[in-house]
Amino acid sequence: MNQGWIDELKQVIGENKVETKDSYVKRMSQDFYWYSPILKKQLSDFYADCIVKPSSVEEVIEVLAFSAQNRIPLVPRGGGTGNYGQIIPMEKGIILDTSALNKIIEIKNGIGRFGAGIKLGKLEADLANDGYSLRFFPSTYLKSTLGGFIAGGTGGIGSIEYGTLWDEGNVVRLTILTLEEKPRLFTIEGEELKKYIHHYGLSGVIIEAEIALAPYREWEDHLVTFSNINDALSFSESIAKSESIRKRLVSVSESPLATAFKPFEAFVSEHDSIVLLQVEKGDCDQVEELAHSFNGSFLPTFSEHVKKNKVRTTDFSWNHVTLWWMKHHPEATYLQGRFDTKNYLKQVELLKEKYPNEVLIHFEWISVGGSIVPSSQPIISYTTEERLNEIITYFKEIGVKVSNPHTYLIEEGGKDDWVELISLAKKENDPYQLLNPGKMKIGIG
Ligand SMILES: Cc1cc2nc3c(=O)[nH]c(=O)nc-3n(C[C@H](O)[C@H](O)[C@H](O)COP(=O)(O)OP(=O)(O)OC[C@H]3O[C@@H](n4cnc5c(N)ncnc54)[C@H](O)[C@@H]3O)c2cc1C
């Protein structure tokens, strides 16, 4: 530990804002990178020197100025729920805990302005009191922050209606601080947003975010089981594309994935492929009818069961499917891919033929640029890195667009359309390359 500069930092921002306790620093330096056996090997030994938790924008400015003056690396942190080691401090230094920047600043005309460190779960609950809801949120919403989601996530529950972070109108404005001796504070909108969405905190610290909100609706959770994955997928497509059923979650898990969803064990057998849904209250009869037309079993008591037991289908969707499965199968890992909308049944058939015991299908239907498409986080039985790479290659060969979750480099993660823009912003905002060092390989000089 570098006691010299840490003592100085304590003088600048206050002793109680800087934490160096070993166990705490280690916990705050980690995210969910261990979903990947590759990242687990690469990233397990990196820790920060200290965690700094400013409680105002002025204090963040002081920390960033200190970091620039003393050339100390710094990683902004939200809830620490990222999957690619995004918050892991590869060159030690400071972890900037943003969680105290958690204010609801303004809600007006369907747009909300919030402190970047606000937890999405708390925000969703507070918005309901004003008749609003988040347009979409990750399944980690109870822990993850607005700034962390914008800087590290993509989409989630609600993306079937509203698309992802990049879709125009979802993120409206961001207020950014630079890492310089005299940090600059500025607000951006429009095309400039691309420099800061999914940017891993590389090109600036998000201080506030303005996002478009959805009207509050009452949702109901439903479960439909199927004896084969094809019927489950066809039903899921039909409901995803239905214009008369409003929904914010259509999640498909192939058998036997749902056996890992312990709170649902009374409802599923190991032979069931399942579709989990959140649909607007009142649309239940339509769901039941559609389920029957695809040979599905609609479980009428499920909705009451989840309410009574205070669980939600959303806790068994998106990357929570991987989490539940890994609890019982620690050797497993996952991939991320976008299947072809017209050809996905054939792609699934090819995968099942080639890897009958190594690939389990998990789809999340979302909207991209106005089209409903099958995004996917299939579960993979991991044996070796070579085998995993072979499987990734085959996914690509059959036309699945893979976003590789087994790399900590922003360029290699598959959401790289705007990496050049992020790099450009980094050059302007982080002249000493102190923000999250190690996560970007392209030169910025
Ligand atoms: C079980 C599980 C399920 C998940 N489901 C989803 C899902 O449905 N959808 C999805 O998109 N993702 C999902 N994820 C990934 C992750 O949870 C989300 O991306 C989440 O929103 C990240 O938010 P966070 O606050 O935890 O960010 P962190 O993990 O703290 O940070 C993520 C990145 O953002 C940067 N960052 C954080 N705050 C700021 C800031 N204020 N300014 C600049 N940079 C910042 C960090 O440096 C880091 O690079 C899942 C992960 C797990 C483990």
CATH superfamily, region 219-399: FAD-linked oxidase, cap domain/gating helix (3.40.462.40)
Reply yes or no on whether the pLDDT at 146 is more than 80.
yes
Give the mutation target among 86, 101, 119, 140 for probing the ligand 1 site: most ligand atoms within 8 A of CB.
140
Measure the CA–CA gap between 309 and 414, rounded to whole angstroms.
38
Q: Is the CB of 152 under 6 A from ligand 1?
A: yes
CA of 141 to the centre of ligand 1 (A): 9
**Residues 240/365, Cβ–Cβ less than 8 Å:** yes
Which protein residue has the closest C-alpha to ligand 1 atom 31?
148
CA of 145 to the centre of ligand 1 (A): 7
pLDDT of residue 443: 56
Q: Is the CB of 158 under 6 A from ligand 1?
A: no
CA of 15 to the centre of ligand 1 (A): 28
pLDDT tens, position by position, 60-73: 999 999 999 999 99
Place of tokens 């590869």: 90
> Residue 295: is it exposed, middle or buried by C-beta count within 10 angstroms (0-12/13-18/19+)?
middle
Measure the CA–CA gap between 109 and 287, rounded to whole angstroms.
33
Q: What is the mean pLDDT of residues 286-308?
A: 94
pLDDT of residue 441: 85
Q: Is the CB of 440 under 6 A from ligand 1?
A: no
CA of 300 to the centre of ligand 1 (A): 35
The ipTM estimated for the assembled molecules is 0.99
* Residue 389, φ and ψ in degrees, nearest 5: -65, -35
In which residue ranges of the chain is CATH 3.30.465.10 found? 104-216
pLDDT of residue 398: 98
CA of 416 to the centre of ligand 1 (A): 17
Which protein residue has the closest C-alpha to ligand 1 atom 12?
153
In which residue ranges of the chain is CATH 3.40.462.40 found? 219-399
Q: Is the CB of 166 under 6 A from ligand 1?
A: no
Q: What is the mean pLDDT of residues 392-396?
A: 97
Place of tokens 């489950």: 232
- Beta-ladder partners of 104: 114
pLDDT tens, position by position, 169-185: 999 999 999 999 999 99
Higher pLDDT, 445 or 123: 123
CA of 80 to the centre of ligand 1 (A): 6
Reply yes or no on whether the pLDDT at 407 is more than 60.
yes
Q: Is the CB of 345 under 6 A from ligand 1?
A: no
Q: Is the CB of 303 under 6 A from ligand 1?
A: no
CA of 240 to the centre of ligand 1 (A): 25
Which of 132, 129, 131, 98 minimizes the C-alpha distance to 115? Answer: 98
Q: What is the mean pLDDT of residues 419-435?
A: 96
pLDDT of residue 445: 42
pLDDT tens, position by position, 353-374: 999 999 999 999 999 988 999 9
Q: What is the mean pLDDT of residues 96-124?
A: 98
Reply yes or no on whether the pLDDT at 98 is more than 70.
yes
Q: What percentage of the chain reaches a pLDDT higher than 90?
A: 95
Query: Residue 3: pLDDT band by 50, 70, 90 thresholds?
Result: confident
Q: What is the mean pLDDT of residues 272-283?
A: 94
Reply yes or no on whether the pLDDT at 413 is more than 90.
no
Query: Residue 379: pLDDT band by 50, 70, 90 thresholds?
Result: very high
3-state secondary structure the chain: CCHHHHHHHHHHHCHHHEECCHHHHHHHCCCCHHHCHHHHHHHCCCCCCEEECCCCHHHHHHHHHHHHHHCCCEEEECCCCCCCCCCCCCCCCEEEECCCCCCEEEEECCEEEEECCCEHHHHHHHHHHCCEEECCECCCCCCCEHHHHHHHCCCCECHHHHCCCCCCCCEEEEEEECCCCCCCEEEEEHHHHHHCCCCCCCCCEEEEEEEEEEECCCEEEEEEEECCHHHHHHHHHHHHHCCCCCEEEEEEECCCHHHHCHHHCCCCCCCCEEEEEEEECCCHHHHHHHHHHCCCEECCCHHHHHHHCCCCHHHHCCCHHHHHHHHHCCCEEECCEECCCCCHHHHHHHHHHHCCCCEECEEEEEEECCEEEEEECCEEECCCHHHHHHHHHHHHHCCCEECCCCCCCHHHCCCCCCHHHHHHHHHHHCCCCCECCCCCCCCCC
pLDDT of residue 275: 98
Query: Residue 23: pLDDT band by 50, 70, 90 thresholds?
Result: very high
Q: Is the CB of 93 under 6 A from ligand 1?
A: no
Q: What is the mean pLDDT of residues 25-40?
A: 97
CATH class name, domain 104-216: alpha beta
pLDDT tens, position by position, 187-201: 999 999 999 999 999
In which residue ranges of the chain is CATH 3.30.43.10 found? 3-97
Which protein residue has the closest C-alpha to ligand 1 atom 16?
82
Which of 144, 185, 179, 146 minimizes the C-alpha distance to 74? Answer: 179
Provide the mean pLDDT of the chain.
96
pLDDT tens, position by position, 199-217: 999 999 999 999 999 999 9
Reply yes or no on whether the pLDDT at 439 is more than 80.
yes
Q: Is the CB of 323 under 6 A from ligand 1?
A: yes
Amino acid at 369: G
Provide the angle, in degrees to the nearest 10, between the axes of the packed helices 229-241 and 284-293.
140
pLDDT of residue 282: 87
Reply yes or no on whether the pLDDT at 414 is more than 80.
no
CA of 330 to the centre of ligand 1 (A): 22
181 C-beta neighbours (distance < 10 Å), count: 12
CATH code of the region 3-97? 3.30.43.10
Q: Is the CB of 89 under 6 A from ligand 1?
A: no
Which of 401, 346, 397, 408 minimizes the C-alpha distance to 368? Answer: 401
